[in-house]
Structure 1
Amino acid sequence: MKKNVVFFEVQGGSDKGPDGYRRDTLPMVNALKERGWDAEVIFFELEKKDEIYNHVKENACSYVSRINPGNLKSESDYFAMLRQLCEDGIIGMPHPDAMIGYGAKDALAKLTDLSLVPTDTYAYYTMETFKETFPKSLVLNERVLKQNRGSTGEGIWRVQLIDELPEGTVEVPLTAKIKCTEAKDNHVETWELGTFIDFCEQYIVGENGMLIDMAFLPRIKEGEIRLFMLHNKPINVVHKKPADSEDAFSATLFSGAQYRYDSPEEWKDLVESFLAQLPDITSRLGNYDLPLIWTADFILDYDKNGNDTYILGEMNCSCVGFTSQLELANNVADEIIEIVEAKVGAQLI
């Protein structure tokens, strides 16, 4: 059995240290080497795609992707190479289609039959559907629109009606005034609904464009709860409390949110409920193996009996970092070895 793991990176980007690598990549490489395995970092370049593909196919047993797709010249070419490597028997961490399935915002719309996601959660892939449905969903309650691209809250908008609608209204008029707060920095803008809908076209057009439409959950003010997962194991919980101001709802550091790190045992109900539903999540997102390093973000809500419940707001698996806890590199190395040995063993049976 080959014992060489390739870590894919890409040149440039704000996630790199002074040496040009992600700060959490070399600790994983070194941890594998300490365990008697080989590991190397390859910087993906579109012009060298075939050369890289052949090298990994011939020399590696597995790859770990540490690339933010937004830093790539061509995301589709990178994913196509990873897909071919997986078909050739290289163990993908994650498989590119798992990366898409768990990382894309429309994963939420695929999970509405689970208790994790409200049933009035919609995915828009065309402007026609957005224009038809969003004015009707906005009648129900305040909404949050989330673009599929971007990061740190960019293109995530809380949308509120400014004036009350007449009783019995089933669709918000396009001339209605709305208050829009962007999660990037909690700044507020006032729009007419129709103009705002046109503005949002930028989020829907283009490769992997889409918008997710969810009900706004007021208990976000109590904090967003991020479950940090290593494959199928919860490692820690990050409690992210938005800044204490009237319009703040963003849980990003950039917007002034305060972070606290807890053990999974301190969030026992959330962890147990989420782990119990992992098989259902996996089946609805393509039946791919769980990503190696990934996160799931939750917001508190009340169920119909007034008890606490947790609503899934987002998952991420493309390049989740752990630079503030580099000692986790040892856990990651152990998990990689366990996954590879289990996969190889299953193939030999």
Structure 2
Amino acid sequence: MISAGMSCQLIHYTHEEHDKFFDLCKKFDFLIVRCNPGQIKADGGDQGKFDNAMREVRKAGIQAWPSPDVMEKMGAKDALCKVATMNCGLEDTLAYYSEEDFGAGFKKTMAFQPRVIKQNRGSSGEGIWIIKLKGGNYCATFGERSCENDEVLILMEANDNHEEEHTVGEFIEFCVNGCNDKSGTWTSKGVGKYLEGGKAAGGQFVDQRFCPRIVEGELRYNQIGDAVVGIIHKKPKEGGISAVGGAGSIYTYYGPEEPKFKNLTDNFLKIDLPKIMPALDLANEPVPLWWTTDFILASPEGTPTEEEKWIVGEFNCSCVGISKCLAAYCKDDTPNAKFDDIAPEDKEEAKRYGDLMGVKALGIMEANKK
């Protein structure tokens, strides 16, 4: 922002100084919100109170990127259901908001093909499960049969690629009510209870077909507004499925006009992108300033490159990371990571992304003033 010629201040939100924070916000032309879902609650604050105050800021004519509604609806896992009929979607993608719907729907989809279950909350792969029937006894057509409660599942969680075995009944119980005598013993860092609070509080999860070619990696499109600024191919470490940061994944970087992904880029930008915000009930909102779309390869092996189908695995606009800065990411095995650990060439690329965002933001604000 500063490189683009604007004043830019870093201000921290603490729930104890909620009113003071939002009084200060009113002095700015626009705000960039950098906060992951769950962080305010984990700190003892109220996410709903924060979001409602940010909505009032928006009503006062101050742009917020992303606004609470954009962050909520784009980040919600049922966004995958709303784009299911587009080029970037799969039609057998279901969303669950109640225990009854989940029990009936999951038993039917699980009997048909391996699945990916994604909770709506959480981040970095926690509560995203890749699930297979241990017996491998899938039916030939969807709806031909439903699983029984005692059928055994092999589950892998995407946050750390750990594996567990549970029955269908235990998995359903864990997702709905968490760890108890009925759900058995779990080694997951998560606590389940994915429907807690109901739909209004984000209690939901999505059931999507597992695409086995995920082991070849996924594509992350880094986007500033309606422009792709870079593409990252994220390949899981050997034997893994999840390619989240910090899981030993291998990252390969491409420019926004990479020829091997031209078919996906053209279909997404020219055909799907104009439909996405209306499909998510955000027709009056612009696309986020800084956001990503993750794509998974859904075509069978042997499909010609120009005909390959890539589907959306996730939209993210809440607190997007810059992958070139991963060397500065503090985690259990790198507790002392710092900015200077980033290679000089990676710092340059990260700066290029940041500079582009500043130019784009300034252009949007100047257009709004006119």
Specify if TM > 0.5: yes
C-alpha deviation, 1:269, in angstroms: 1.7
- TM-score with structure 2 setting the length: 0.80
- Say whether 1:224 aligns with 2:218: yes
Match for residue 15 of structure 2 among 46, 50, 61 = 46
Match for residue 279 of structure 2 among 280, 284, 288 = 284
Which residue does the alignment assign to 1:136? Answer: 108
Distance 1:106 1:167 in 2: 26
Contact 2:75 2:316 (C-alpha < 8 Å) held by counterparts = yes
Contact 1:103 1:315 (C-alpha < 8 Å) held by counterparts = yes
Helix, strand or coil at the partner of 1:255: coil
Q: What is the letter of the counterpart of residue 48 of structure 2?
A: S
Which residue does the alignment assign to 1:308? Answer: 308
- Say whether 1:235 aligns with 2:204: no
Go from structure 1 to structure 2 and tell me whether the alpha carbon gap of 1:243 and 1:61 turns closer, same or farther (over 3 Å shift): same
C-alpha deviation, 1:164, in angstroms: 4.2
Which residue does the alignment assign to 2:329? Answer: none
Match for residue 49 of structure 2 among 63, 74, 77 = 77
Which residue does the alignment assign to 1:215? Answer: 209
Helix, strand or coil at the partner of 2:118: strand
C-alpha deviation, 1:51, in angstroms: 2.4
Contact 1:184 1:254 (C-alpha < 8 Å) held by counterparts = no
Distance 1:297 1:159 in 2: 20
Which residue does the alignment assign to 1:23? Answer: none
Distance 1:334 1:254 in 2: 30
Contact 2:51 2:68 (C-alpha < 8 Å) held by counterparts = yes
Which residue does the alignment assign to 2:189? Answer: none
Contact 1:94 1:289 (C-alpha < 8 Å) held by counterparts = no
Ranges in structure 2 where 5+ consecutive residues have no aligned partner: 177-192, 326-349
Which residue does the alignment assign to 1:342? Answer: 367
C-alpha deviation, 1:211, in angstroms: 1.0
Residues 112-158 of structure 1 deviation map (CA, whole Å, 9 limit, x = unaligned): 12121111101112222111211011122100001112222111111
Q: What is the letter of the counterpart of residue 214 of structure 1?
A: Q
Q: What is the letter of the counterpart of residue 291 of structure 1?
A: P
Q: What is the letter of the counterpart of residue 246 of structure 2?
A: F
Q: What is the letter of the counterpart of residue 313 of structure 1?
A: G
Contact 1:61 1:91 (C-alpha < 8 Å) held by counterparts = yes
Match for residue 260 of structure 1 among 245, 252, 262 = 252
Alignment of 1:13-24 (within 5 A): none
Alignment of 1:1-349 (within 5 A): 28=1, 30-32=2-4, 35=5, 37-57=6-26, 59-72=27-40, 73-165=45-137, 169-201=144-176, 202-206=193-197, 207-245=201-239, 248-266=240-258, 267-276=261-270, 277-285=272-280, 286-287=282-283, 288-302=285-299, 306=303, 307-322=307-322, 324=325, 325-345=350-370
Of residues 66-75 and 318-327 in structure 1, the stretch that sits farther from structure 2 once superposed is 318-327
C-alpha deviation, 1:328, in angstroms: 2.1
Go from structure 1 to structure 2 and tell me whether the alpha carbon gap of 1:87 and 1:304 turns closer, same or farther (over 3 Å shift): farther
C-alpha deviation, 1:303, in angstroms: 7.4
Distance 2:313 2:139 in 1: 30
Of residues 277-286 and 46-55 in structure 1, the stretch that sits farther from structure 2 once superposed is 46-55
Go from structure 1 to structure 2 and tell me whether the alpha carbon gap of 1:65 and 1:177 turns closer, same or farther (over 3 Å shift): same
Contact 2:111 2:138 (C-alpha < 8 Å) held by counterparts = no
Which residue does the alignment assign to 2:339? Answer: none
- TM-score with structure 1 setting the length: 0.84
C-alpha deviation, 1:96, in angstroms: 1.3
C-alpha deviation, 1:61, in angstroms: 1.4
Distance 2:109 2:155 in 1: 15
C-alpha deviation, 1:305, in angstroms: 10
Residues 198-234 of structure 1 deviation map (CA, whole Å, 9 limit, x = unaligned): 0112112133121110000011111100000011110
Residues 295-346 of structure 1 deviation map (CA, whole Å, 9 limit, x = unaligned): 000011227994311111001000112263133221111111111111222x
Q: What is the letter of the counterpart of residue 310 of structure 2?
A: Y
Distance 2:367 2:301 in 1: 43
C-alpha deviation, 1:272, in angstroms: 1.3
Of residues 160-169 and 67-76 in structure 1, the stretch that sits farther from structure 2 once superposed is 160-169
State percent identity of aligned pairs. 35
Matched positions, count: 311
Contact 2:218 2:235 (C-alpha < 8 Å) held by counterparts = yes
Go from structure 1 to structure 2 and tell me whether the alpha carbon gap of 1:166 and 1:186 turns closer, same or farther (over 3 Å shift): closer
Distance 1:164 1:49 in 2: 53
Helix, strand or coil at the partner of 1:254: coil
Distance 2:205 2:148 in 1: 20
Distance 2:302 2:160 in 1: 34
Contact 2:112 2:139 (C-alpha < 8 Å) held by counterparts = no
Contact 1:46 1:77 (C-alpha < 8 Å) held by counterparts = no
RMSD: 1.9
Q: What is the letter of the counterpart of residue 289 of structure 1?
A: P
Residues 7-46 of structure 1 deviation map (CA, whole Å, 9 limit, x = unaligned): xxxxxxxxxxxxxxxxxxxxx4x324xx1x2221221122
